[in-house]
């Protein structure tokens, strides 16, 4: 779960990490009142789930209220990289002496949290790694010990920072590490981490990714996720613990399976056959016939979808449950919808007996390849 900047900064502030004074704006009304607690100049930042927003015109500066009002009106509703801007974060501009980069990631090689620091902040870390690899400092953190003094001293020495930064850097690294652990993060990034004239640190931006599987422990993040979700089918699928993935608004084929690997394989093969995949749905494990029926109905609520390829390996999810769900769903979705079904595993023969009596709009295939061929054939008819 990727957080928008304003939500990430809320978490930073919760963990006593300094941020700019700011306000969230969602409409162009009463701007003077909304910005009354801020002093100019300010920075106006589009809140979208996309990188490179600054280069795309999503970050702008205003020296007075009139400029701020004009920018806010122009940015709200603006399309940036396919994302419509609905929220703006208005923050006081802060001056500093230097910009740094700080992040903690879950490093799978070291199997531990990894601190990444660079005295070159304000640019993509990938760019720094390419042009100034010696300016990137990495140090794994032993979860049994946490943040120790030697970690901070190592960063200061490698980055050639003055010793006066020790206390401030120790405070911010300790707090962001605590946030990383307590919120089950995959990434916590501050870029830039600004050093003020008083040698204090302040987070100018925030990028935080939280492990989806941990969201049941974080109701505040689950609530945030549902607030920003625009696709109603994603929210409806989530009620049944399904993962619904919109893919292409022009797509007419959907894929349903019980595993992300199989889903991606099917999507790749269908796309290579010059068919457009509009959506995919991951059932997860142990889906019963009533839940599978709901999944199929959710998929076909997108009126552009006319074809559904179902590929399920029956283990915990039994083949007869899959077939039963298909039988129940086709009573409601209409005879013009085509279902191509591949099932393997537990109770396959029982499942096939059910599928045989479901009519011409339901076809059984033995392999994924056969399913793709059947989709192409049905599309050409």
Contact at 8 Å (CB) between 113 and 105? yes
The larger pLDDT score, comparing residue 212 to residue 165, is at 165
Domains 98-216 and 232-380 share a fold: no
Q: What is the pLDDT of residues 325-341, one digit of tens each?
A: 999 999 898 778 999 99
Average pLDDT of span 172-198: 96
CA distance 131 to 4: 28
CA distance 139 to 153: 11
301: left (phi over 0), alpha (psi -120 to 50) or beta: alpha
pLDDT for 229 beyond 70: no
* DSSP SS3 for 293: helix
pLDDT for 272 beyond 70: yes
CA distance 26 to 77: 10
Question: Measuring CA to CA, which residue among 79, 80, 73 is closest to residue 25?
Answer: 73
* DSSP SS3 for 381: coil
CA distance 380 to 340: 15
How confident is the model at residue 44, as a pLDDT? Answer: 97
Angle at the Cα of 254 from the Cα atoms of 253 and 259, rounded to 5 degrees: 145
pLDDT for 249 beyond 90: no
Average pLDDT of span 217-245: 86
Q: What is the pLDDT of residues 31-89, one digit of tens each?
A: 999 999 999 999 999 999 877 788 888 999 999 999 999 999 999 999 988 788 999 99
Query: Predicted confidence band at 122 (pLDDT cuts at 50, 70, 90)?
Result: confident
Query: Predicted confidence band at 212 (pLDDT cuts at 50, 70, 90)?
Result: confident
Distances, alpha carbon 341 to alpha carbons 256, 359, 361, 376, in Å: 10, 13, 11, 14
Domain ranges for the chain, please list them: 21-92, 98-216, 232-380
Contact at 8 Å (CB) between 236 and 226? no
- The DSSP annotation for 309-378 comes to EEEEEESSS-HHHHHHHHHHHHHHH-TT-EEEEEEEETTHHHHHHHHTTS-TTEEE-SSHHHHHHHHHHH
Tokens of 250: 């022009």
How confident is the model at residue 225, as a pLDDT? Answer: 83
CA distance 345 to 312: 9
How confident is the model at residue 1, as a pLDDT? Answer: 86
CA distance 218 to 240: 19
CA distance 235 to 222: 11
Q: Could you tell me which residues come within 8 angstroms of residue 47 by beta carbon, excluding any fewer than 6 positions away? A: 4, 5, 6, 24, 85, 86, 87, 88, 89
How confident is the model at residue 77, as a pLDDT? Answer: 92
Burial of 66 (0-12, 13-18, 19+ CB in 10 A): exposed
Per mean pLDDT, which range of 59-68, 76-85, 145-154, 243-252 is the poorest?
Answer: 76-85
For domain 21-92, give its CATH number from 3.30.1490.20, 1.10.3210.10, 3.40.50.720, 3.40.50.460: 3.30.1490.20
Query: What mean pLDDT is reported for the chain?
Result: 92
Tokens of 74: 């122009």
Host H or E run for residue 154? helix 149-159
- The DSSP annotation for 201-257 comes to EEES--EEEE-GGGGGG-HHHHHHHHHH---HHHHHHHTTT-EEEE--TT--EEEEE
Q: Match 């007869």 to its residue by tokens.
A: 320
CA distance 58 to 324: 49
Please state which CATH class domain 232-380 belongs to. Answer: alpha beta
Give domain 98-216's CATH architecture.
Answer: 2-Layer Sandwich (3.30)
Query: Predicted confidence band at 230 (pLDDT cuts at 50, 70, 90)?
Result: low
How confident is the model at residue 223, as a pLDDT? Answer: 87
Q: What is the pLDDT of residues 312-326, one digit of tens each?
A: 987 778 899 999 999
DSSP conformational letter for 94: -
How confident is the model at residue 74, as a pLDDT? Answer: 95
Contact at 8 Å (CB) between 6 and 89? yes
What percent of the chain is predicted at pLDDT more than 70? 99
CA distance 294 to 104: 40
Q: What is the pLDDT of residues 94-106, one digit of tens each?
A: 999 999 999 999 9
Contact at 8 Å (CB) between 190 and 15? no
CA distance 61 to 205: 15
Q: Is the pTM of the predicted complex or chain greater than 0.75?
A: no
């Amino acid at each position: 779960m990727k957080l928008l900047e304003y939500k990430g900064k809320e978490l930073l502030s919760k963990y006593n990490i300094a941020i700019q004074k700011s306000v969230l704006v969602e409409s162009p009304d009463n701007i003077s009142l909304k910005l009354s607690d801020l002093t100019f100049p300010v920075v106006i930042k589009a809140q979208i789930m996309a990188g490179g927003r600054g280069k795309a015109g999503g970050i702008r500066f205003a020296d007075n209220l009139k400029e701020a009002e004009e920018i806010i009106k122009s940015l709200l509703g603006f399309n940036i990289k396919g994302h419509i801007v609905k929220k703006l974060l208005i923050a006081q501009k802060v001056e500093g002496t230097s910009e740094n980069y700080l992040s903690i990631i879950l490093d799978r090689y070291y199997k531990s949290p990894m601190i990444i620091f660079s005295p070159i902040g304000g640019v993509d870390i990938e760019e720094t790694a390419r042009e100034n690899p010696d300016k990137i400092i990495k140090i794994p953190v032993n979860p049994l010990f946490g943040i120790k003094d030697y970690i901070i001293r190592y960063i200061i020495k490698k980055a050639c920072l003055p010793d006066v930064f020790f206390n401030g850097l120790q405070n911010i690294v300790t707090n962001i590490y605590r946030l990383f652990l307590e919120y089950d993060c995959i990434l916590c990034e501050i870029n830039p981490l600004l050093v003020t004239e008083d040698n204090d640190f302040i987070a100018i931006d925030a990028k935080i990714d939280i492990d989806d599987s941990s969201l049941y422990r974080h109701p505040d993040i689950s609530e945030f996720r549902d607030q920003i979700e625009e696709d109603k089918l994603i929210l409806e699928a989530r009620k049944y613990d399904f993962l619904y993935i919109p893919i292409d608004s022009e797509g007419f084929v959907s894929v349903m399976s019980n595993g992300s690997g199989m889903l991606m394989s099917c999507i790749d093969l269908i796309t290579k056959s010059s068919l457009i995949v509009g959506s995919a749905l991951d059932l997860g494990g142990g889906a019963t016939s009533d839940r599978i029926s709901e999944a199929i109905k959710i998929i076909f609520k997108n009126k552009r979808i006319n074809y559904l390829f179902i590929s399920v390996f029956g283990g915990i999810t039994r083949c007869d449950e899959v077939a039963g769900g298909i039988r129940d769903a086709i009573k409601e979705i209409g005879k013009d919808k085509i279902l191509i079904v591949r099932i393997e595993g537990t109770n396959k023969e029982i499942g096939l007996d059910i599928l045989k009596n479901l009519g011409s709009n339901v076809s059984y295939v033995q392999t994924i390849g056969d399913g793709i061929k059947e989709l192409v054939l049905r599309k050409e008819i």
